[in-house]
Structure 1
């Protein structure tokens, strides 16, 4: 999942109704500064123009400054109401504008939106610096913390704790000289991450592999070839066909390409998209970001950025993370070696005894091996995974069975792109619970990957229902043809909707604490758990229907397909472990030891060798030069959380399996004890309250992966 690139540190929230200052009243014609007339207070994209964003940011930033100044200048003694709640309220308009704008920078980033982003990001970072290092403001917050912390209860106490600790972690207690250095670092990192996002998106788009001859695409089938033709047309038509590079190292299309030279071109286009081999080189940005983060940690008194970052997580320390990872690596490595040998031996049956398996061959021969051993292939099952059926009859159906939710499409809600859809979410008591958008198809203006976020978070304080969206990068079929998914894309839809449920089912008083506002190594748990519903027979049978006939997947094919889910899964675990260890390697170093851009590739290789994960056959899911989670997003020293939370998810799935996989009472228990609670309590205690387990049981992870 991607953390929203908005001004989260001031703890702001959108609301159905907003009170505007006189300054805002003068700009009522700007729809971003008016109360929306759309249901739920949803963004009115039929009225919002690109030119509205910059003036809206200017107004919202000034309003935030004015609100902070009022808190600071108050002559009344600091209290929870006049300081903490006032601070929570101070940036509501800015949050409203930011959530709408940054949704577009991720999913519909036109050149005009990109130009505005370059102007807005420094403005937001400057404001964040002003607030984080505002000594009179922090003094009032500290007074409330010292006087009222022990007398407050529940969410009031938690809100105070989060705000106070955030200020401390951001450097509010630093001496003046170090404060100034932290401000400069914050501004520079903001600028670098802006450059990273622009450069990586451009590099990935430029990494398209152009194909002149249809026969070179042998193995794809007519639907796959038609998709390559459509992708070529949408990207300028430099050749009749184009293979688009997705965000990860490996490319799913390699499983079907018979042409080995083309497989090599595709793989190398992926791994070299941004390492300087071609038009782009992001290593200088990654190196400088890592160095600045390390310096931040040192200023705050920590040995490295990982130690600083992990303090707020369930894992707590890098040592705990490494202990977790090393246990997995020791069990995984022999299985990975055996898997590689089996694939190479299989390939040699047809290619000869001297054939040397390369990373761009792995998916191809693994798919053929799966076809021979299990008699199943992607081409055989994809007609049963129509994106619309997966959504309505799978994702939504599971949410209905387990949580009692129903979904009504709202064609009256304005959208930012015609490929989107909007649904009203209705709870089992008949009351409206949320608004949910989905945007599932790739396009050049959308960054790679899949994510969840929201135009508004749930908040009882402001009577705000959640307005949540999911974004994916599935291929959209040519006009008149159904858009079909791979199994991995099916589970991705379930995954991202697990995040959406965390936002939709939130029932918290304060915006800052609601929904997915939890530690990284907890936030991926609801999403990973929700993937389990994709293969539950009753759910699977409901959505896995032929795109033309509507018939369910035949029983024999279904059995073969479900058996194939855990076929040769060492690769998936290995690429994740390698990426996780790369992330930690960059963020475990002191600033003086951060490698330069010229040494970055060598450092990556050494880091993987040192921990026993250097394996050309199983490269990292993301290499440094395109590791957007870490250098462009909020997962620095936190990519391990996908594996960490998978353990939590497997433990929770075991509870559901024991009680009944689709048992509504268990679903309600999950709502009450985890999904509705946001960050209002201790996260480990939430896990314990639901599972009855004092600690997560990591032993079930490899079993769940078929290893």
Structure 2
């Protein structure tokens, strides 16, 4: 190794606790050389596997494959989180260059006929269940990647994969920029009536950060619905904010985001046909827990019908309360009025009880300790990739190391919207590694010295993303391919949704929901009111979600050779055909900012949130029937499901946990659809 290479922190495993990446030693200049070295190293390792004269065995072929590409894994795990969480112009330029290279490299591995033939030649006799599953999954990965195609087909597939990777990266970058550009600037504070003093201070700080000498800036979160719409009394300001949200990336029919989306949908349809599928939706759903595309539609269609019926009833009630017809920018405002007037719940007024540190340490972490016995110790001696990043050491009840949890909670102009979990290091008995996982959120940062008060939705997001983190931390598998959240897309949201149940659990809520100034508990009866109000707005919530899920499927059910010339017209027609085209209830994501499906790996998979919620709602019912928040229940859930990753069939893991198949009844009750 040259002296230059020895200084690159990705070339060898980190010596920090749990192999936490050495961010203090990492420079932007390290990424490209590490990728280049990683590409070359893994191809050389594969050449060694395929070139050896010995007969194929599990150890010299499958295990060798699992161990290959260590440098590439290290740099990719760090770089792509950085590109999403702190994507400076220099980082984004690297991403645009590297993303298609990575797709090409993946094809070089999975379209390697010699490697595939060795996988086929590995004897199955004597393998334990997880090892046999690994062998079978590798064989399936090769066939799904197109290894059986003729040379011309493989060449076209390589071209498509490289194009799609490049276009997805461009889409993500443009969505982030469009969101920043669409932030609503307001000079007169009277136009922001309804915002709390803390919110006004945050908006003023955002304006200064953006370069405005005065005024206020309402930054956008990624989904269509913007939190400020719940409290802004000025209807024109609400309209301006809503239109800024729904029109980013879609202000005109020739917006670059729309053109990118249409091109990707067309290329994906061609790729699906090349691989023998009628549509990309069928290709994407084939390896999921859902048995087929038809089964997904069979689940979604009746729910959509009931949800729209409920949403129309809610709209009539809102119009009565408002004294005029309801537009999309009115819905949240008058919905909160009904929540206050009829249920005695004012979500905006609860924010002083939801201070970020308390929510994290006395809510999210506390629930995990009560359930699983794990403990959290903040490690201020360990450095993250940005000054806002915090790191906690996580230990088991017996004091043994479980892993590290990294939290990055604040929004910034270089961070893409939304919230997500990534792994810097995955647990693996083969490699002897513990998990290092990160949660990213987009909470507006208050002025220095002021508390970070969360909306109720942000509290939900904290618990939700930590459910993903637990899935990664609790992994107890042999092979990296099966670790943590490396499960089908329509199963991965299940553990995260389950973790939301503890938000209003009396013991947990009492521990974290304390007024940030006085320390007082929530007013008596608040939880009962929140539960009573839980069905209000489900028509809207389900319809806006299904609008996005069904729009996603429509984009990916295109036949090859069926290009979309007018993406906005296509979007409108898709919503109408699905029966979810309510003007006052736009989809949670429109095409122009639907990062999940055009840049985030959820193509033809956004349905998975509702699919997973069947398991989630049934699991909540199980916990309630078995005594709730207890170590016994937590250990059972951890042992039978959270720790298993993809080492066993996910639905079998659910059966091992619940003792039966999932029952959809709790979901229908939760959503008010019975």
TM-score normalised according to structure 1 size? 0.93
Q: Which of residues 84, 109, 129 in structure 1 aligns to 2:87?
A: 109
Partner of 2:604: 637
Counterpart contact for 1:524–1:645, Cα < 8 Å = yes
Q: For residues 281-680 of structure 1, what are the structure 2 equivalents within 5 Å? A: 281-348=256-323, 355-596=324-565, 599-680=566-647
Q: State the aligned residue count.
A: 673
Residue 671 (structure 2) pairs with residue 705 (structure 1): yes
Partner of 2:651: 684
Query: Deviation per CA, 1:49-95, whole angstroms, max 9, x where unpaired?
Result: 11111111111111111111111211111111111111111111110
Is the partner of 1:433 in helix, strand or coil? strand
Counterpart contact for 2:358–2:512, Cα < 8 Å = yes
Q: Which of residues 92, 98, 103 in structure 2 aligns to 1:125?
A: 103
Q: Which of residues 227, 239, 244 in structure 2 aligns to 1:264?
A: 239
Distance 1:71 1:215 in 2: 69
Is the partner of 1:430 in helix, strand or coil? coil
TM-score normalised according to structure 2 size? 0.98
Is the partner of 1:434 in helix, strand or coil? strand
Distance 1:47 1:301 in 2: 47
Counterpart contact for 1:43–1:414, Cα < 8 Å = no
Is the partner of 1:593 in helix, strand or coil? coil
* Per-residue deviation, 1:565: 3.7
Show structure 1 runs of 5+ residues with no match.
1-21, 349-354
Query: Deviation per CA, 1:532-554, whole angstroms, max 9, x where unpaired?
Result: 11111111111100011122112
Is the partner of 1:472 in helix, strand or coil? strand
Q: Which of residues 112, 137, 143 in structure 2 aligns to 1:162?
A: 137
Counterpart contact for 2:253–2:568, Cα < 8 Å = no
Residue 182 (structure 2) pairs with residue 207 (structure 1): yes
Query: Deviation per CA, 1:634-687, whole angstroms, max 9, x where unpaired?
Result: 111110000010110011111110111112111111111100000011111111
* Per-residue deviation, 1:376: 2.7
* Per-residue deviation, 1:520: 0.9
RMSD of aligned alpha carbons? 1.5
Q: Which of residues 14, 21, 26 in structure 2 aligns to 1:48?
A: 26
Counterpart contact for 1:468–1:504, Cα < 8 Å = yes
Counterpart contact for 1:656–1:663, Cα < 8 Å = no
Distance 1:679 1:488 in 2: 30
Is the partner of 2:24 in helix, strand or coil? coil
Distance 1:281 1:369 in 2: 40
* Per-residue deviation, 1:562: 4.2
Distance 2:343 2:284 in 1: 44
Is the partner of 2:25 in helix, strand or coil? coil
Query: Deviation per CA, 1:180-211, whole angstroms, max 9, x where unpaired?
Result: 11001001001101111111111111011111
Distance 2:255 2:450 in 1: 36
Distance 2:625 2:239 in 1: 46
Is the partner of 2:217 in helix, strand or coil? strand
Distance 2:410 2:532 in 1: 28
Distance 1:88 1:140 in 2: 14
Is the partner of 2:256 in helix, strand or coil? coil
Distance 1:377 1:459 in 2: 46
Rate the CA distance shift 1:296–1:238 in 2: closer, same or farther, 3 A. farther
Counterpart contact for 2:56–2:119, Cα < 8 Å = yes
Residue 11 (structure 2) pairs with residue 33 (structure 1): yes
Distance 2:69 2:13 in 1: 16
Counterpart contact for 2:309–2:539, Cα < 8 Å = no
Counterpart contact for 1:210–1:238, Cα < 8 Å = no
Q: Which of residues 88, 103, 114 in structure 1 aligns to 2:66?
A: 88
Is the partner of 1:46 in helix, strand or coil? helix
Counterpart contact for 2:392–2:404, Cα < 8 Å = yes
Distance 1:415 1:270 in 2: 31
Partner of 1:179: 154
* Per-residue deviation, 1:609: 1.1
Distance 1:150 1:589 in 2: 43
Counterpart contact for 2:359–2:512, Cα < 8 Å = yes
Distance 2:555 2:563 in 1: 7
Counterpart contact for 1:267–1:360, Cα < 8 Å = yes
Show structure 2 runs of 5+ residues with no match.
none
Residue 210 (structure 2) pairs with residue 235 (structure 1): yes
Rate the CA distance shift 1:540–1:279 in 2: closer, same or farther, 3 A. farther
* Per-residue deviation, 1:379: 3.1
Counterpart contact for 2:504–2:527, Cα < 8 Å = no
Is the partner of 1:152 in helix, strand or coil? coil
Query: Deviation per CA, 1:70-126, whole angstroms, max 9, x where unpaired?
Result: 112111111111111111111111101111111100101111111111222232122
Distance 1:684 1:455 in 2: 27
Is the partner of 2:82 in helix, strand or coil? helix
Counterpart contact for 2:12–2:71, Cα < 8 Å = no
Q: Which of residues 140, 143, 146 in structure 1 aligns to 2:121?
A: 143
Moved more, 251-260 or 458-467: 251-260
Partner of 1:68: 46
Is the partner of 1:697 in helix, strand or coil? coil
